[in-house]
């Protein structure tokens, strides 16, 4: 069932989104060569506790961690690992879901460890632009296929990348994963029509090679590119309004000013960003 959110529910998700964005602001302060991916998990747990939020992924279908940390050819759902040391040039995707007072938000962001190679830099740039091309299609009256078609045309037709099919965006709130499913590929003008008050994620996963995923990992979670190529992902939670799509997990209110639900988001993010910085300085400096 698809739920249409009230202004009160959207405001609650906006604040939850600021908590999650604040986590990502902290992540960029601690990701560096030589640390293990487990450090990212430790930071997220300490930060969420200080922010008064719940790491919603812990316990979801048996998942044990607050974050998914996927590196290089890992598409998604990588476990944070103490023995996985990040090295110069690695492409790291950090994905998590937050529950703040019953309001959910979901966001993944990609980071490069140290200096990006030209290949990594271009993949990150294209994937991030694809995210926003998809978001721009989230207009009242458009269809789900319009989102996927915009992303697929840009990433596959224009850049020759692989647009992952096995994993898609989704509705969110009041639980983590809800209808509708939001593919990042497809045909314009097809699929469910978008309505005011729908809250969804757009989260393209783009590979340098084939779009196909290898899901044979014995963990039952980790997915890798089928050909060993690099994979990148960016994800926002957003709400569809009469004034267009409004991002609820922005890390940059100035750059995203046309996508913000209201003016209070910047204050929310400043508050939680300060908490993230304090946690970094106390535990990870």
Give the list of residues 6+ apart from residue 173 with CB closer than 8 angstroms, or none.
3, 5, 9, 13, 103, 104, 199
**Nearest Cα residue to 183 out of 143, 224, 243, 231:** 143
Q: What count of other Cβ atoms lies within 10 Å of the Cβ of residue 125?
A: 13
235 annotated as a binding-site residue? yes
263 annotated as a binding-site residue? no
77 annotated as a binding-site residue? yes
184 annotated as a binding-site residue? no
Are 245 and 213 in contact by the 8 Å Cβ rule? The answer is: no
156 annotated as a binding-site residue? no
Separation of alpha carbons 25 and 20, rounded Å: 9
Distance from CA of residue 99 to its chain's centroid? 15
Binding annotation for a divalent metal cation: 95, 106, 170, 203, 235
- List binding-site positions: 77, 95, 106, 170, 177, 203, 235
Per the annotation, where are the binding residues for substrate?
77, 177
């Amino acid at each position: 069932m698809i739920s249409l959110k009230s202004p009160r529910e959207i405001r609650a998700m906006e604040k939850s989104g600021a908590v999650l964005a604040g986590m990502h602001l902290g992540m960029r302060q601690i990701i560096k060569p030589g640390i293990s991916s487990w450090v990212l998990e430790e930071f997220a747990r300490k930060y969420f506790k200080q922010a008064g939020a719940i790491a919603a992924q812990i316990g979801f279908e048996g998942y044990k961690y607050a974050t998914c940390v996927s590196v290089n050819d890992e598409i998604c759902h990588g476990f944070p690992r103490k023995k996985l040391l990040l090295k110069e040039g690695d492409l790291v995707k950090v994905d998590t879901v937050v529950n703040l007072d019953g309001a959910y938000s979901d966001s993944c962001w990609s980071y490069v460890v140290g200096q990006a190679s030209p290949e990594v830099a271009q993949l990150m740039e294209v994937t991030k632009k694809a995210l926003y091309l998809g978001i721009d299609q989230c207009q009242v009256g458009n269809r789900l296929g319009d989102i996927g078609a915009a992303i697929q045309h840009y990433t596959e037709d224009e850049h020759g990348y692989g647009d992952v099919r096995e994993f898609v965006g989704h509705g969110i709130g009041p639980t983590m994963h809800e209808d509708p499913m939001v593919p990042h590929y497809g045909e314009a003008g097809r699929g469910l029509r978008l309505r005011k008050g729908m809250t969804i994620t757009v989260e393209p996963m783009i590979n340098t090679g084939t779009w196909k995923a290898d899901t044979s990992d014995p963990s039952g979670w980790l997915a890798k590119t089928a050909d060993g190529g690099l994979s990148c992902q960016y994800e926002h939670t957003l709400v569809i309004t009469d004034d267009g799509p409004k991002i609820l997990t922005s890390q940059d209110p100035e750059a995203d000013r046309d996508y913000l639900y209201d003016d209070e988001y910047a204050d929310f993010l400043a508050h939680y960003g300060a908490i993230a910085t304090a946690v970094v300085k106390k535990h990870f400096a």
